[in-house]
Structures are given as structure tokens and as C-alpha cells.
Amino acid sequence: MFSGKKEGKNREPAVAGKFYPAEKERLAQEVNTYFREAAPLQAALGNPQALISPHAGYVFSGKVAASAFNQIPEGFRPNRVFVLASSHQMHFGGASVYCAGDYETPLGILPVDRQVGQILATSGNLFSDRTDVHQFEHSLEVQLPFLQKKLGGDFKLVPIILGVQRAEECRQIAEALRPWFVPENLFVVSSDFSHYPSYDEAVKTDRTTTEAILSNTPENLLKTLEKNRQAKVPGLVTSLCGWTSVLTLLYLTEGKKYRFRWVGYQNSGDQPLYGEHNRVVGYSAIAVFPPEEETFTLLAEEKQQLLQIAEEAVKETVVSGRRKEFVGDRFTGSLAEKAGAFVSIYVDGKLRGCIGSFAGDFSLAEVVNRAAASAVNDRRFEPLSEEELERFSVEISVLTPLKQIDSPADIELGRHGIYIRKGYLSGTFLPQVAEKYGWTLEEFLGRCSRDKAGLGWNGWKSAELYTYEAIIFSSAKPNAS
């Protein structure tokens, strides 16, 4: 996409002294005061994955913003913080991620993750690296002092201004951000709520809008915003000024059991000195927590069904040369869930193919069917012949969701598979590979980095590391060679 003027320097504060104090000590004191007055931490829910926070002047919305950031427990240090803020100052298409330098506030410098920014800016998914749209935008900047006081400087910032005005474009932006929407990162979504109705009308409208967000349903939010508009509430200009940023978040969480919690509300009329009740702006704080962990299990009969699916797919592909026609809607339970899997084919106990994928849009049954058919013609091996169908067996590895890790020390050989990613390059080894070949942790990482991801032996040191586990079962007879 179009790249605007790039200054090659840090983005300096634009609204210090207007939306919040420009002096470092005064700003720190004020933010600390808001944290003391804020809604308490909902400790039982763990680390938040996303926060929705207002962006007005601190005198009006500071307590509500602090209530959002107060949901970050002590000790949680996200790898990256993505801040999504809808543009108020410029009209432009797509979204802009700042890559020219770091972000500054009176509290200091926040290092920007320029590598992630450049990946997004060159992805073709509506992103650019324009700097001009960041220059005067307040909605992103005002979030940063709260992050600095809560997290210190031990994270990398990914600052994104959204100029999109269509729901479908928000969906596309969400898809581009999905690889980074993991529990190890934090997403901060900047938005105020109702603009300029009376105090009582704001309370009613903001409650309706908040409930729509808490439903975790993009279509429900869009319908609610339209219903609010059609209600023609006197003075109401918008019921959610950052609707594109909030909608992008809902597309990221759609269809999964993320736990949304409403943690604070005020409007500008609650400010005792400057607030008026006939024309207010609403502020709501929402925290989003990851789904509760569910243990993925397979019943013995489900394992047998998957083995049968894999064996039939192998035979059909070898005999006919094409993938077996698959009817997925006849499966229920875990076989109907979206999960990743790898299928390995052995002939006389020797590996002849191994293909698979992580969780995507297909059911587990369909993933196994596709992987088994593809493994027949794994280009690293000779294709299976019909004569060998009398002597083959399949091994299936059903994968748990990926978990990003900070250190190789988190890898347990024999238990964890690894997935290494840097930019567009990636590679994986299943958990059983290290044990099978007797590799050390260094060999496990080095071989995956070099042979699978194409990053060189030490490339994993500057890449993202993920682990996963696998439920492994086979059709091979016990003690078979």
C-alpha cells in the first residue's frame, strides 16, 4: 500500500498538556491517582488478552481508563502490546502501523516493534506505514502513559491507526493480526462511547452498546449501532467513535469463548467541576480474557475412526490417484472440532510420508483425511505403490493449540513439538521427533530452524517460538517391525 512521508524519527507527544499533563512527575502522580480510584483487578480471570479503554482527556475518562488497565495483574509482561485506534484527524483507507521510530510520552520512550510493523505494512492486507496519520492522533497516544505505569518499558509496542470505514475491511485487518492475537501479547482498543446526548440518554445508550460488545458477536454490534442511530436520540452523533477498532477486536474473538467483562463506566457529566449533564460523552472499560483452557481428549472409538479415515484415504489415493470423496458432516464429538493433525505413513516400519497442518477451517476428521492423502505423495519419499498397501500403517498426531514461549527452557523434549516462525518462514517438528533421533534440545531447535524453516542453524534465536503437544496413536501392530 501507499507509504506516506516517513520522518525516520520518534513520534513525539502531540497532546501532552492538553489531554494529560506534559510534566513527567505530574503525569505520573495523576496516573497513579487514577489507578488508586479504579475498579479493582478481577484476579480470578488471569491475564487479559485485550482491553477496551477510553481516550478522552484524563480529567474526564482517566478513572475509567485506569479501570481497564488495572485488569493487568502484577507480573504479567506481554511480549508485545498492539494498540488499535480509529483515526479522528485524517481520512484515509486501510490502517497505518508506525515503523519510522519509537513512540514517546513525557514518561519516556516506548520501543516500537518495527519488524512486526514492516511485516504488516508489506502484507498487502490494507496496511501501510504512513507516519502522517499518527502525527496528531490523540486516541492512541493517551493510552500509553497508563501502559508505561502498569508495565514499565519491558514490552514492544505495535501502534496502529485505523482509517477503514467498512466492516469487511475490519475483518481483513483482523485476519492479518490473528497470528499475534495470542495470550502472550496484549491488545488495547481505544474508543469512547456515546457523543453528546444528555446524561440519562448516554447511560442508556452506552449500556446497550456495551452489552452488544460483551456478546462477542460482530453482527450484534453492527445492528446495535444502527439501532442507536435510527433511534434519533437528541444530540447523539455516534454511540461508539472507535467502532472500527472494536469491531476488529470482535472479529478476532468471534466464535470462541473469550470472557468479556465490563469493569468500569462513567461519562463526562460525572466530572464534578467541568461536567455538564445536557451534552456528555460516555466512557466504558472492558477487559477480554482468553477462553478457559479445555483439555482436548479423544475416546478410544474416536481414535479408531480417525485411523480408519486415514487408512481409507491412503488406499483410495494410491489406487485411484485422487483423494477420497469425504463427507464430514457425519462425524460428531471431537472429530467435528477444528484441530490440527499430522499423519505419518510407514511401510515395514520405515517412514514413507508425513504431512499435516495446524488448526484451521476444517474439522479434525477432514484434516486427517487430507493429510493422509497428501502424505502418500510426500515429495521427500518414493510414492506408495499398490503392492505396499499390504504392509503399511499410519500414525496420527492430533495437536493441541500453539503456545508462544519466551525461552527454549520451556521446551520439554518428548512432550512438546516446536513451531518456529520468522516473517513468512516457518517450520515444525512433532514431539516424537526429538526422542526418535535422540536429539538434544540444541539439535531439536537447530535442525527445525535450518531444515524446516530455512532460517539457518541459529535462526531460531531471533524467531518466534511456539510449543504444542500431541495425542499420538497408530494402526501398527504391537512389536511390529
Per residue in 381-391, is it b (16+ CB within 10 Å) or e — as a string? Answer: beebeeebeee
pLDDT (average), residues 263-287: 96
Domains in the chain: ranges and CATH: 24-289 (3.40.830.10), 300-474 (3.30.700.20)
* H/E element, 28: helix 24-37
Look at 182-191, 279-288, 348-357, 469-478 and tell me which has the smallest mean pLDDT: 469-478
Which band of pLDDT confidence, cut at 50, 70 and 90, is reported for residue 184? very high
* H/E element, 109: strand 108-110
Predicted pLDDT at 6: 45
Torsion, Cα 395 398 404 405, to 10 degrees, reads -50
- CA dihedral sign, ordered 251, 253, 256, 262: negative
Predicted pLDDT at 329: 66
pLDDT digits (tens, 9 = 90+) for 374-398: 999 999 999 999 999 999 999 999 9
Predicted pLDDT at 52: 98
Measuring CA to CA, how many Å separate 105 from each of 154, 177, 283, 429? 15, 25, 23, 43
pLDDT digits (tens, 9 = 90+) for 28-51: 999 999 999 999 998 778 899 999
**Which residue, 211, 113, 96, is CA-closest to 164?**
96
Across all residues in the chain, what is the average pLDDT?
93
- Whether the per-residue pLDDT at 7 is higher than 60: the answer is no
H-type alpha helices, 131-198: 138-141, 144-151, 167-177
- Whether the per-residue pLDDT at 281 is higher than 70: the answer is yes
Task: Tell me the percentage of the chain whose pLDDT exceeds 90.
Answer: 82
Which band of pLDDT confidence, cut at 50, 70 and 90, is reported for residue 342? very high
For the entire predicted model, the pTM comes to 0.65
pLDDT greater at residue 185 or residue 328:
185
- CA dihedral sign, ordered 57, 61, 63, 65: negative
Cα(248)–Cα(80) distance, integer angstroms: 18
Cα(365)–Cα(357) distance, integer angstroms: 12
pLDDT digits (tens, 9 = 90+) for 219-240: 999 999 999 999 999 999 999 9
Which band of pLDDT confidence, cut at 50, 70 and 90, is reported for residue 4? very low
- Whether the per-residue pLDDT at 8 is higher than 70: the answer is no
User: CB of 59 within 8 A of CB of 191?
Assistant: no
**Which residue, 20, 23, 26, is CA-closest to 61?**
20
Predicted pLDDT at 214: 96
Predicted pLDDT at 360: 76
Residue type, 39: A
- Whether the per-residue pLDDT at 294 is higher than 80: the answer is no
- Whether the per-residue pLDDT at 454 is higher than 70: the answer is yes
Which band of pLDDT confidence, cut at 50, 70 and 90, is reported for residue 24? very high
Predicted pLDDT at 154: 79
pLDDT (average), residues 51-66: 98
pLDDT greater at residue 444 or residue 337:
444
- Whether the per-residue pLDDT at 3 is higher than 60: the answer is no
Cα(186)–Cα(150) distance, integer angstroms: 13
- Whether the per-residue pLDDT at 480 is higher than 60: the answer is no
Measuring CA to CA, how many Å separate 108 from each of 145, 153, 392? 9, 9, 63
Query: Please, which contacts does 39-42 make with residues 24 or more away whose CB atoms are closer than 8 Å?
Result: 39/67, 39/70, 39/263, 39/264, 39/285, 40/70, 41/70, 41/71, 41/72, 41/73, 42/71, 42/261, 42/263, 42/287
- Whether the per-residue pLDDT at 371 is higher than 50: the answer is yes
Q: Could you tell me which residues come within 8 angstroms of residue 343 by beta carbon, excluding any fewer than 6 positions away?
A: 310, 354, 355, 356, 368, 371, 372, 375, 394, 395, 396, 397
User: CB of 463 within 8 A of CB of 455?
Assistant: yes
pLDDT (average), residues 402-414: 88
Predicted pLDDT at 297: 83
